[in-house]
Each structure stands twice: as C-alpha cells, then as structure tokens.
Chains A and B, each alone.
Chain A
Amino acid sequence: MAENVTPRVRVPKEAAAGEVITIKTLISHPMESGQRKDKEGNLIPRSIINRFTCTFNGETVIDVAMEPAISTNPYFEFQAKVPESGTFTFTWIDDDGSTYEDTKEIAVA
C-alpha cells in the first residue's frame, strides 16, 4: 500500500477556444518494481500505478498503460485541445485498487 500519494498537475487557467495547451502531471508514488530485494534478500513485491488517464468534460485526452519500468514519482507531459470551458480530470489507478484523482478547471476566454 503506497502512502502519501499526492498528485500534482499544472494546467493553464485559461485558453482560447480550440487552443492546444501543455499539461504536466506528477504524482508521488514509490513505483516498487518487483525487481528489488530488501536487506535479507527477499524480493519486495511489485506495487505500482498501472494506469493514468486524463479526460476533459468526459472525453479522453490520453490514457497510459504503465509498467514497472516507469520511474518513481511518475511524470507525464502531454498536450490537450481545449474546445470550451470545462474540467480536466486526472486519474491514477494503483495495483492495490486505489485511485487517485485530481481536477483542474479551465476557462475559455
């Protein structure tokens, strides 16, 4: 079970209609690969975030299937089209079934 998982997302506050914006996301998570061993030589079981999605007003921007080779504190940078004012929803899905969510509003001037 991962502790202190904090998502951080950077989205501009406003955009022009149809503008393409850059989104940066970071979430603190150990992403235990399942390859590492502890001091006694026992394998530390895998515990990672296996999926990340970003939607805008319910429509998909990006959907990433993640494997243990994604680094600790997974970082993603990508681009989204903003057709109207609305809400970006970011969801991270953990191996243990928990989900972490963050939302950001954007206004079309």
Chain B
Amino acid sequence: MSFSRRQTLAIMAGSGLSVMLGGRMALATPTEELIANFTGGAEITGEGLTLTAPEIAENGNTVPVEVDAPGAESIILLATGNPNPDVGVFHFGPLAGAQMASTRIRLAGTQEVVAIAKMSDGSFARAAQEVKVTIGGCGG
C-alpha cells in the first residue's frame, strides 16, 4: 500500500491535530479552572445541591436541566464535554422563592454535566449527572 504525496500530507496533518487535541484533553483544565474560579480554590465539601438532567437526551440542542440548592447564593452549571464548558451562573436575590431554576442547554455529545452551588454559609456543594446524547448540539 503506497500513499501519494497528497495523502501523506493529509495523514500527517491529521495525526498532528489529534496529538494537539490529545494534549488538551490530558490537561483537562478548562472545567477545573472554571470551578476554581467559582470557588476561589475552596474545597467542595457541602451537600444539598440537586441536579436534575435526563440520563439520555435524544437531541443535544435542547436538554432540560434543573438545579436546586436550598440556601444557595449562586449555582454554576458546567458541561464538561462541550468546546466551552461554561453554561451559566445563576445568582439568587433576596426575593428568590426557592434557590432553584430550570433551563435548556446544549450538549456537544455524551458527557458529564456538573453543578457547583455556593451556599450562604460560604461552603460549596457539587452535583453531577452523566447525560448520553444521541445527536450533538454544537452544530458544525
């Protein structure tokens, strides 16, 4: 089996790309960085955060997600497998009837959705849920 010059170049470009991507995956920092920014490096030891997401989402373009953390000041939502893991931050004001919110998010593929809540006493709670996605939601 012999490759033409064009094919060889294509293969080299392809493998170079996968090495770059692999290197980025190995560091796995974007999500951790976002979590560290949110918590200020504090340890996540608290409890009381519930993350509700479907186990299987047929369409990654609109996946219903609910976060609920009684006594939380704010909750950050992260999609660890998206090109850009931040999804949003919910801040609850004095007139929030409950520290819960639901919305619809995009998931690029099967991945873990993570939520971190900042409680009013300064502690942090974490919840995660694996969502299987049949059709990804980041276009392309």
Contacts and interface: CB of A to CB of B under 8 A. Distances in A.
A60 B88 contact: no
A60 B94 CA distance: 6
Given A69-B79, A69-B82, A60 B95 contact: yes
B138 A36 contact: yes
A91 interface: no
A67 B61 CA distance: 14
Mostly, the B contact residues are strand
B3 to A, nearest CB: 25
A71 interface: yes
A62 B138 contact: no
Contact of A71 (B82, B93, B95, B106): B106
Contacts of B107: 69
Interface in B37-61: 61
Contacts of B62: 71-72
Interface of B: 61-63, 66, 79, 82-98, 100-107, 137-140
Interface of A: 20-22, 33, 35-37, 55-56, 59-72, 74-81, 83
18 contacts: A33-B106, A36-B139, A59-B94, A60-B94, A62-B91, A62-B92, A62-B101, A63-B90, A64-B88, A65-B89, A67-B87, A71-B63, A74-B103, A74-B104, A75-B103, A76-B103, A77-B103, A78-B96
